[in-house]
Structure 1
């Protein structure tokens, strides 16, 4: 059962969303919180969420601070941003802060449930119309900071196989089937890949490879 924490200052929206998500048999809304309340950290600790949803658009100029507080309070939880507008700059900011997914509210509950399940497995999802912007921005950030030295050198051969599948846009189950391993094994390799590459999400790992730093090591 996946434990969810809903973070949004719009109380009516939170209640409606919670009711909808509760219809999924494998999801449990363990709590909700206002992003600006002083007890946010305490509520997170009580909920022990696997996934946190948050509406950053409503946070305005405090979006970065809200993300920082969420990451500090629940570093193991995947963060899903619920967006009420395109917000390209905010999407980039969210990705830099480690948010694994960006879901426009108009996509509906069924799509959100699918993304939440994926995020709980360490997968990432950003809309195609935003993904290019996010990847280019992260690439510029990495280049500006001097990049990494041989980022793929620390990966095992099997971890490279899993990473190659991620670059091709394959889901964990498909990678597992092609490598003749379990989905849980792929998830374990994925967590190890993120740790070794010092990135927060699969999106950043894929960006690192596509930037050309990693592919040179494999040739």
Structure 2
């Protein structure tokens, strides 16, 4: 299924680079270079996903935060994937709290960016591995439950727990496979079993489940 996206970045070179790096099943339907043009494009084209530069010029609340505040209040808001040169914890936490579904840095490869767009479109939360830790730490500081050995966790095998922790921190299936020296297909099988045992629907719910128990 084709994912319709709007790219928002104040640098022409970045917008062109992102557009050209995306896979064929991702259709760029519009672009924006500042807060005003971004909001206009998003409302006009109603994309599935907005690829949003974090440090966007214009607005009154920090550029990207103004865009998020404007577009996420509608009946069918798009998913937002933040894209930035910054990997600062403050930037990551701020846009996630404002409603972004994911945050990746501009060093990401084309295939990984395409995968991130698809995952965000499907409802997953997507973060570069290091950045996921910032979000989980912020969630825990806001009142997450203390980790405890419960029946759900004990129902997972040792390997399933290893996979679960990596997936909850935002690693892709390929990255999990490389770390654990197993195939992507095996990773997919483990994730399916973990979601079934924990009665969860997707990776986003799994990340929240793990964060609440502080086990990532």
- TM superposition score normalised by structure 2: 0.65
Cα distance in 1 between the residues matched to 2:64 and 2:195: 42
Structure 1 unaligned residues grouped into runs of 5+: 148-160, 192-200, 213-219
* Residue 69 (str. 1) matches residue 70 (str. 2): yes
* Residue 35 (str. 1) matches residue 51 (str. 2): no
Q: In the alignment, which residue of structure 1 is the partner of 2:46?
A: 48
Q: In the alignment, which residue of structure 2 is the partner of 1:152?
A: none
Aligned length, in residue pairs: 178
Q: What is the CA deviation profile of residues 141-194 of structure 1, one whole-angstrom value per residue up to 9, with x for unaligned ones?
A: 346xxx9xxxxxxxxxxxxx9xx999553779647853899xxxx99x459xxx
Please state how far the C-alpha of 1:131 moved relative to its aligned partner: 1.9
- CA change 1:175–1:75 in 2 (3 A) is farther
Please state how far the C-alpha of 1:63 moved relative to its aligned partner: 3.5
Cα distance in 1 between the residues matched to 2:21 and 2:95: 25
Q: Is the 8 A contact 1:35 1:66 kept in 2?
A: no
Q: In the alignment, which residue of structure 2 is the partner of 1:198?
A: none
- CA change 1:36–1:203 in 2 (3 A) is farther
Please state how far the C-alpha of 1:207 moved relative to its aligned partner: 5.3
Please state how far the C-alpha of 1:136 moved relative to its aligned partner: 1.5
Cα distance in 2 between the residues matched to 1:68 and 1:46: 17
Cα distance in 2 between the residues matched to 1:51 and 1:205: 21
Cα distance in 1 between the residues matched to 2:11 and 2:106: 13
Cα distance in 2 between the residues matched to 1:180 and 1:167: 9
Q: Is the 8 A contact 1:167 1:206 kept in 2?
A: no
Cα distance in 1 between the residues matched to 2:65 and 2:40: 20
Q: Is the 8 A contact 2:164 2:191 kept in 1?
A: no
SS in 2 for 1:93: helix
Please state how far the C-alpha of 1:16 moved relative to its aligned partner: 2.8
Q: In the alignment, which residue of structure 1 is the partner of 2:20?
A: 19
- TM superposition score normalised by structure 1: 0.65
Structure 2 unaligned residues grouped into runs of 5+: 146-155, 174-186
Q: In the alignment, which residue of structure 2 is the partner of 1:80?
A: 81
Alignment counterpart, residue 209 of structure 2, candidates 203, 206, 209: 206
